[in-house]
Amino acid sequence: MSKPYIICHMMTSLDGRIDCAMTSKLKGVEDYYSLDVPTTLSGRMTAEFEMALPGKFESETKTPVNKFTFSKKFDAEGYEVVVDTKGTLLWEEQIDCDKPLLIITSEEVSEEYLSYLDGKNISYISVGKGKIDLEKACEVLNTEFGVERMGIVGGPKINTAFLEAGLLDEISILLGVGIDGRAGMPTVFDGLAMDHDVTPLSLIDVTKFDSGALWIRYKTNN
């Protein structure tokens, strides 16, 4: 299958927590941006918190598109990819963007929402019955949008979805200098079945920064 080289790149506390408000206070947060990837992908919750406009798209007819389709509005060196299965997030119009938005939905998304994205000059891929077909979406990102290298920078749900689909080539962890310790905080991966086996990894490299943070890179065995 043709796809980008995909890296899950996260900053964590020493106890493996990834809450953004917490990691922003850790020594080493500035070192997180050492990874050079022109295209990044976030899940809906991360995008809603960090990028999207307030509110939720409400479809009047709720007629699903019910087919694979995509629309490319820009040729770019990199994209801000957002996974939004049902098409609910609101966005500013895209004009002359260095890193334009690209929304990935399932085929259950409403025709109205895709028309809304067209009106905002936003690229999209709609693929998968019931849920997004991540494998096919990655193929389209590579073959139609020219994405060769992509960083997954979302939360545990989207990270785990890519892990479970066998699409991750590398795990990149920036270990910040501090401990969270609070109960119930999100981790890099979460939600797999209890009988799911351990995912084996191979160490690529470890870099120590002046801040005391460690950048640890692993290759998956896919």
DSSP 16-47: -B--HHHHTTSBTGGGGGG---SEEEE-HHHH
| Nearest 10 degrees: Cα torsion 192, 193, 198, 201 | -20
CATH number for 1-38+147-222 (one of 3.40.50.10300, 3.50.50.60, 3.40.430.10, 3.30.499.10): it is 3.40.430.10
121 CB contacts (<8 Å, ≥6 apart)? 73, 93, 94, 95
163 touches 8 (CB < 8 A): yes
29 touches 173 (CB < 8 A): no
> pLDDT-based confidence at 221, cuts 50/70/90?
confident
- CA nearest to 217, candidates 177, 166, 165, 170: 170
Predicted confidence at residue 97, as pLDDT, reads: 84
User: SS3 letters for 153-209?
Assistant: CCCHHHHHHHHHCCCCCEEEEEECECCCCCCCCCECCCCCCCCCCCCCEEEEEEEEC
Residue 61 has pLDDT above 90, yes or no: no
> pLDDT-based confidence at 58, cuts 50/70/90?
very high
Residues of the chain with CATH 3.40.430.10: 1-38+147-222
**Buried/exposed code over 113-140 (b: 16+ C-beta within 10 A; e: otherwise):** bbebbeebbbbbbbbbeeebbbeebbbb
How is the beta sheet containing 101-105 ordered, strand by strand? Answer: 69-71, 123-126, 101-105, 80-83, 39-42, 149-152, 5-12, 170-175, 214-220, 201-208
Predicted confidence at residue 211, as pLDDT, reads: 96
pLDDT over 90 percentage in the chain: 90
